[in-house]
Structure 1
Amino acid sequence: MKRRTFLGSIAATGVGAAIAPGLIAPATAQAATWKKRVTGADLDTNSRWQVAGTDLGIPYVLENGSIGYLFGDTFNTPWPEQPNNDWRSPVMLRSAIHPGAAGGIVFDSAAKVAGNGRAPEIMHNGHNGIGIDGLWEVTVIPNDGISFPETGRQLVSYMSIENWNSAGPNGPQWKSRYAGLAYTDNGNDFVRTNLKWFNSGDNLDPFQMWTMQRDGDWVYVFSVRSGRQDGPMMLRRVPWERMFSPEAYEGWGWNGSNWGWGRPCSPILNGRFGEPSVRRLEDGTWAMAYLNCATGNIVTRTAAGPDQVWTGEKVQVTFAQEPALYGGFIHPWSTKAANGLHLMVSKWTRDPAGHSTAYHVSQYAGSL
């Protein structure tokens, strides 16, 4: 099974990402510190749910108010290359524990599991074969989740991966075939819809990796290209009740004199982005995190609103702290208080021969 190449080691060049005019600001020193590792073959994620080697851990609020954590390619072995590894993706663990508690995040259940037992993938995955839509699919990778207490429904945005090995200006990078939405009305069984936002043949479509945040009647969708490559970040919004209606998505665009909704999307930022993560905090602050693939650091920005000016990057976790790091997903219970920011950070390291030596997720705490 071929796997995606992460860019943490490549990014050590220190070349800065291109930032939209007016948003350039010097990066601050690292702010976040390691709190705990939350997945691994030696932890209860394996003994209880057979979640040993895994990545991402994207946290979002469930319809009952607790937190679901979406994991990508998951194995019952410490890392992917080992035989009989029980490959699954996506997998969801849950927790009602506040990440700021003394013991950090502690998982209490898994989706589709009554008590303890193997956590299965929550939606169909083609696994290096023909998927449910008749298209070749290497795997399914979650990008974000969102829930609607009014209806009890949850949605997960995901990528259907076409290959891990597309050539590009920054080296090998993965190519998604399309971005999609899946839903569940029972909190466990996610159904992949027929909605597809197809990637372009040259892998440059900027609507492939989504992060979603609701504010009132609208869901705001921030998206970038697949593969952690150079490109724009785009912003759209859609009424929360119409997320299955592509025509209802409005772009945030510049017409040459001002910004406005209902236009073709214009880049709100430019850079070499990893997966974006955006959350609206309780005090109304909007926070964004992503891996800056040019510097190898996980950084954050803040804004007064989704369509307002974003601050310059603040470095939270460096590649020196966590070699081969990626992710950097904001916990929705984060705050602007000191050490009130909680990030899920993935690590996948290999030895010189290419064998994995670590593949897991850790919790970091920092400040915005």
Structure 2
Amino acid sequence: MWDNGAGEVLAAFGDTFGDGWAPPGANGGDWRSQVLLRSNDRDLADGMAFSSAATDRAGHAKELIPSRKVDGDEITVIPTAGVSVGTRQYMGYMSVRHWGQPGQWDTNYAGIAYSDDNGQNWTATTPGTPRWDNPTGANHFQMAAMVRRDGYVHLFATPNGRSGAAYLARVPERQILDKAAYQYWTGSQWQQGQDALAAPVVNAPVAELSVQFNAYTGKWLMTYLQGSDVVLRSAAAPTGPWSAPALIASSADYPGLYGGFMHPWSQGQDLYLTLSEWTPYNVYLIRITLTRDAAITNANLVRDPSFERQTTGTVATPWACHGNCGIDNGTWSFTADRNAFARYNRGWHDLYQTVSVAPNTRYVLTGWLRTSGNNDNGFFGVRDPGGPPFSETNFRAVGQWTRHQVAFDSGPRTSVEVFAGIWTDNGDMWLQFDDVSLVRG
């Protein structure tokens, strides 16, 4: 995602499918190697809305840069970065020759395309312009993140795959299409010449970089995939030194996660970024909260919040169950692979977890729910452990996964029970429950 300089954020997505798609992963018809959507939504607390797309017909997002879609030649062309200079949009991309084992792929080259009509049409670069060829698989600049600051566009990059280090180049912002104008950070100085001059600014493994200068912290922030987790680092300068990595999201809670890209407008204490997951093959917006020193605070107090750490179909610690409950392991969940459920034809059934809280503190509880069509009396909220609810929301039939929220003050309590349940007195009824969060409000 990047700011287009005219009041919109442009979001470029990779391989995208339409007709016939079914989880898990990439498959189906209407394959486009990339698509682009636009957003002017500045209130991200309730999600990110898109207002338009680069289209080739009404209601259909088009492929921006053609790809051959031939394995071993060019299987796809994936966008990796974007930046605007004046009214021109620039997008970094990689030409993928072959997808290998998870986390491994071969690229032909990486380039920069440009658009003068807000992303509707793109001109891809040729070997005479910024194009980093990769015939031996050793080039450092195959996947990029671009940041415009202090008169330069800073180009952070990694080799193809997910096991390389991060490297850095910069170019005067008006010369972004002149490869000879690029300077590479050698570890001690900026130097023009070949990209092989670049030394790592962050050691391996680094993948799918996102970098921005953050106004709230006054620091450069970097998010990336480290092994199977998304992490955050910070630095006073783009050249580093970069802080130790702090965990944003674990693959234990978000299986198959990748692509943690920061929203360019989240410049305050709340940092929003996207997170992709393989099984649902979709992109989600997540939020972390930063201190002035760029440390992550306001962590989710719910353990196993997406039920992905459950190993059987029976509800296990830290979750518990009243009545008839279980764990689904398939493709029904809101995200990833698993969700919890309660189901029966009479009485009260719920899922719950005891969570420690600070007294006299405001909290916000959120969770994603859906139910059978005959549900007429469900509840989501918090209660005293083993006691009655003191803050909850009531819901009836919920056809699609829907986010529910409850705000409360803990009062004198040092722990609460988070719960979701239904009265099943209207025939066979069920509730599905996923992605629960309890944070200071």
Is 1:346 the counterpart of 2:346 in the alignment?
A: no
TM-aligned CA deviation for residue 82 of structure 1: 4.9
1:148 to 85, 89, 113: 85
2:50 to 107, 124, 133: 107
Is 1:91 the counterpart of 2:35 in the alignment?
A: yes
2:191 to 231, 254, 262: 262
One-letter code aligned to 1:191 = T
Whether the 8 Å contact between 1:341 and 1:367 is mirrored in structure 2 is yes
1:186 to 102, 113, 117: 117
Q: Which residue of 1 aligns with 2:226?
A: 292
1:176 to 64, 88, 107: 107
Q: Which residue of 2 aligns with 1:137?
A: 74
Q: Which residue of 1 aligns with 2:68?
A: 126
SS in 2 for 1:140: strand
Whether the 8 Å contact between 2:82 and 2:146 is mirrored in structure 1 is yes
Q: Percent identity?
A: 36
C-alpha offsets along residues 227-277 of structure 1, whole Å, 9 cap, x if unaligned? 112x321111100111111111101113xxxx2111621111111122111
In 1, the alpha carbon distance for the partners of 2:141 and 2:260 equals 19
In 2, the alpha carbon distance for the partners of 1:181 and 1:225 equals 16
Q: Which residue of 1 aligns with 2:260?
A: 328
SS in 1 for 2:204: strand
SS in 1 for 2:166: strand
List aligned pairs for 1:1-368, cutoff 5 A: 59-76=1-18, 77-79=21-23, 82-83=27-28, 85-98=29-42, 100-101=44-45, 103-112=46-55, 117-128=59-70, 136-149=73-86, 152-165=87-100, 173-187=104-118, 188-194=120-126, 195=129, 196-201=131-136, 203-229=137-163, 231-254=164-187, 259-262=188-191, 264-283=197-216, 284-293=218-227, 296-337=228-269, 340-349=270-279, 358-368=280-290
Residues 1:235 and 1:164: Cα distance change in structure 2 (over 3 Å): same
In 2, the alpha carbon distance for the partners of 1:146 and 1:81 equals 27
Whether the 8 Å contact between 1:124 and 1:192 is mirrored in structure 2 is no
Whether the 8 Å contact between 1:98 and 1:104 is mirrored in structure 2 is no
Give the gaps of 5 or more residues in structure 2. 291-441
TM-aligned CA deviation for residue 172 of structure 1: 6.5
One-letter code aligned to 2:88 = R
TM-aligned CA deviation for residue 300 of structure 1: 0.6
TM-aligned CA deviation for residue 146 of structure 1: 0.6
C-alpha offsets along residues 187-241 of structure 1, whole Å, 9 cap, x if unaligned? 210110113211142x232111110000021011111111112x32111110011
In 1, the alpha carbon distance for the partners of 2:176 and 2:26 equals 38
One-letter code aligned to 2:275 = V
SS in 2 for 1:276: strand
Residues 1:288 and 1:81: Cα distance change in structure 2 (over 3 Å): closer
SS in 2 for 1:267: coil
C-alpha offsets along residues 54-76 of structure 1, whole Å, 9 cap, x if unaligned? xxxxx111131210111000001
Whether the 8 Å contact between 1:72 and 1:89 is mirrored in structure 2 is yes
- Greater strand proportion: 2
C-alpha offsets along residues 7-29 of structure 1, whole Å, 9 cap, x if unaligned? xxxxxxxxxxxxxxxxxxxxxxx
- Aligned residues: CA RMSD: 2.0
TM-aligned CA deviation for residue 94 of structure 1: 1.1
Residues 1:172 and 1:267: Cα distance change in structure 2 (over 3 Å): closer
Residues 1:261 and 1:322: Cα distance change in structure 2 (over 3 Å): same
In 1, the alpha carbon distance for the partners of 2:177 and 2:266 equals 29
SS in 1 for 2:265: coil
One-letter code aligned to 1:261 = W
TM-aligned CA deviation for residue 99 of structure 1: 5.2
Residues 1:280 and 1:174: Cα distance change in structure 2 (over 3 Å): same
Whether the 8 Å contact between 1:73 and 1:89 is mirrored in structure 2 is yes
Q: Which residue of 1 aligns with 2:301?
A: none
TM-score normalised over the length of structure 1: 0.71
In 2, the alpha carbon distance for the partners of 1:208 and 1:90 equals 17
One-letter code aligned to 1:158 = Y
Q: Which residue of 2 aligns with 1:49?
A: none
One-letter code aligned to 1:107 = F
C-alpha offsets along residues 24-51 of structure 1, whole Å, 9 cap, x if unaligned? xxxxxxxxxxxxxxxxxxxxxxxxxxxx
Q: How many residues align?
A: 278
TM-score normalised over the length of structure 2: 0.60
Whether the 8 Å contact between 1:111 and 1:119 is mirrored in structure 2 is yes
Whether the 8 Å contact between 1:126 and 1:138 is mirrored in structure 2 is yes
SS in 1 for 2:259: strand
SS in 2 for 1:367: strand
One-letter code aligned to 1:305 = A
In 2, the alpha carbon distance for the partners of 1:186 and 1:81 equals 30
SS in 2 for 1:241: helix
Whether the 8 Å contact between 1:280 and 1:332 is mirrored in structure 2 is no
Give the gaps of 5 or more residues in structure 1. 1-58, 130-134, 350-357
Residues 1:99 and 1:164: Cα distance change in structure 2 (over 3 Å): farther
In 2, the alpha carbon distance for the partners of 1:139 and 1:208 equals 14
TM-aligned CA deviation for residue 157 of structure 1: 0.3
One-letter code aligned to 1:223 = A
